[in-house]
Amino acid sequence: MMRSSAFAAIAALAVFGLGAGAAMAQRDPAYAAAREAGKVGEQPDGYLGIVGGSDPVLQRLVDDINIKRRAVYAEKAKENNATLEAYALTAGCQAIARTVPGEKYRAPDGSWQTRTSAAPIRDARCP
């Protein structure tokens, strides 16, 4: 029960913490184009992943976003007495839940899925 409450609290904080970072990333036309083209997707660990082949420009874009995400996760985890990993997992759960039909996400089995109108397949540890 306590673990569930902790995840719920972290989930609520992750939504607020990710809002600013996600909004900033989505203002980048290259990020929006890569996401729309299915070249990048959300992962259960809270980080953006590359779907299929990569190139140096796409790799730099994903690395930059993930560095920024990690900084936010570390700050928010510290503020809330959570581990970085727990905060990132919860953020990943929320990011996958917010995908829209046509966007890519990584399922718990490691496969890349394309979001449909149905709920995405998420990690069993997701709140």
Over residues 82-89, the mean pLDDT reads: 96
At 23-80, the pLDDT tens digits run 545 578 999 999 999 999 999 999 999 999 999 999 999 999 999 999 999 999 999 9
At 100-120, the pLDDT tens digits run 999 999 999 999 999 999 999
> How many residues would you count in the chain?
127
Tell me how far CA of residue 113 lies from CA of 64, 117, 118, in angstroms: 23, 12, 12
pLDDT at 7: 47
Tell me how far CA of residue 73 lies from CA of 1, 14, 56, 69, 102, in angstroms: 24, 8, 25, 6, 27
Tokens in use for 28? 């980048």
pLDDT at 28: 87
Tokens in use for 57? 């420009």
pLDDT at 98: 96
